[in-house]
Amino acid sequence: MAVVRTEGLVKTYGATRALDDITLTFPDGGFFGLLGPSGSGKTTLLRAIAGFVIPDSGRVFIDDAPVENVPVEAREIGMVFQNYALFPNMTVAGNVGFGLEVRKVPAAERKRRVAEVLDLVQLGELGDRKPHELSGGQRQRVAMARAIVTRPRVLLLDEPLSALDKSLRVEMQIELKRIQREVGITTIFVTHDQEEALTLSDQIGILRDGRLVRHGPPREVYDNPRDPFTAQFLGEANLFSGTPEPGGLRLADGTLIPGAPTATIAVRAEDLRITLDEPAAPIRLRARLRQRIFAGAMGTCVLDWRGNPLKAIGRDQDFAGLPAQGDVWLSWDSADMIPLSEG
Ligand SMILES: Nc1ncnc2c1ncn2[C@@H]1O[C@H](COP(=O)(O)OP(=O)(O)O)[C@@H](O)[C@H]1O
Ligand SMILES: [Mg+2]
């Protein structure tokens, strides 16, 4: 296990700043979820930690030791990438044991360690199969086993589940978390799936255009996103901006939002109430319901408020009695307003 730390990492490709001054600590034994839109620098950051990318400036430390002079293979890092390739002609056990063979681990110990790690990923019976005889989820487990069999200090996972279909992905998320807990290895996990990051991580970091916008425990970042990008990236947030007055926030259409703490606020889609009749709530807006989308347990209402799209999420009974579309009232509790900085 190890603490990984980056200090002022910068990497440019021509005019693109793939990493723009990234200073971040990945705690010992923790599960750190890195997320951000495509092209935000997630893969570049992992590759810089692994040693495949040489930063223009800044440093990487593993347990307080700088690693710039440590080659990739000596950094003791295990990796699973999105397009991990297993050796097609080797058995599962052969694939998993390959890294140990390269490291000249004696055959008897190799066999023992391969068996141990195959048990851990619940493939104990399948060591003799070839990759083409496995399902997608099973191949994924082989890739995990291969990454951890060498007992690396750090595990880097770059969107390892994105090739799997939804139900398998959810199953593998639970597996991944279990394996990481059992091995206790410092893990940095890249995903563009916010739900996946929130589910798995002890800490998350959000990248945008090579910059670290925000990091912290998932719940803390979700409850207090602080900036509009984070608010809208994690979950569904409705933003309102206006001019602060002694009585509240004056929106462009003249509506006063009493108690609004800042010039820009966010209200989570799950915190918006929709009613046909004017509510008694002190915070209320007239809006137009554009569409109701049924999606199983939870449904979505797409709304329009003076040309701004809004979204409400709730159970079917929350939206009972509403028309398919038409004028409605929106309201929310003042406790559900999230203060945001400008942006
Ligand atoms: N080898 C490279 N050559 C040129 N540009 C690159 C290279 N690697 C990454 N980039 C650019 O750096 C930015 C960040 O890329 P990447 O780290 O792959 O993002 P992410 O993994 O978040 O999708 C993107 O604009 C990408 O086009
Ligand atoms: Mg990537």
pLDDT, tens digit, 9 for 90 and up, residues 151-191: 999 999 999 888 788 888 888 888 889 999 999 999 999 99
Q: Is 58 in the pocket of ligand 1 (CB under 6 A)?
A: no
- 278-282: average pLDDT: 94
pLDDT of residue 162: 83
CA distance 172 to 218: 20
For β-strands 186-191 and 154-158, DSSP reports them as: parallel
pLDDT for residue 285 is more than 90: yes
Express as a percent the part of the chain with pLDDT over 70. Answer: 100
Residue 113: CB atoms within 10 Å: 17
Q: Which atom of ligand 1 is nearest to the CA of 158?
A: 21
Among protein residues, the one with the nearest Cα to ligand 1's atom 3 is 13
Q: Is 264 in the pocket of ligand 1 (CB under 6 A)?
A: no
**What's the Cα-to-Cα distance from 238 to each of 76, 267, 269, 304, rounded to whole Å?**
44, 5, 7, 11
CA distance 84 to 71: 21
- 314-343: average pLDDT: 90
* Residue with the larger pLDDT of the pair 171 and 212: 212
pLDDT for residue 121 is more than 80: yes
pLDDT of residue 343: 54
CA distance 292 to 321: 12
Q: Is 18 in the pocket of ligand 1 (CB under 6 A)?
A: yes
pLDDT of residue 171: 86
- 95-105: average pLDDT: 95
pLDDT for residue 311 is more than 90: yes
Q: Is 42 in the pocket of ligand 1 (CB under 6 A)?
A: yes
For β-strands 237-245 and 248-251, DSSP reports them as: antiparallel
pLDDT of residue 318: 87
Residue 262: CB atoms within 10 Å: 15
Express as a percent the part of the chain with pLDDT over 90. Answer: 80
**What's the Cα-to-Cα distance from 128 to each of 98, 118, 231, rounded to whole Å?**
14, 11, 48
Most confident by average pLDDT, 26-40, 163-177, 183-197, 295-309: 26-40
Domains defined for the chain, CATH in brackets: 4-228 (3.40.50.300), 236-340 (2.40.50.100)
Q: Which atom of ligand 1 is nearest to the CA of 190?
A: 21
CA distance 90 to 64: 38
Q: Which atom of ligand 1 is nearest to the CA of 45?
A: 17
> Could you tell me if 172 and 140 are in contact, meaning their C-beta atoms sit under 8 angstroms apart?
yes
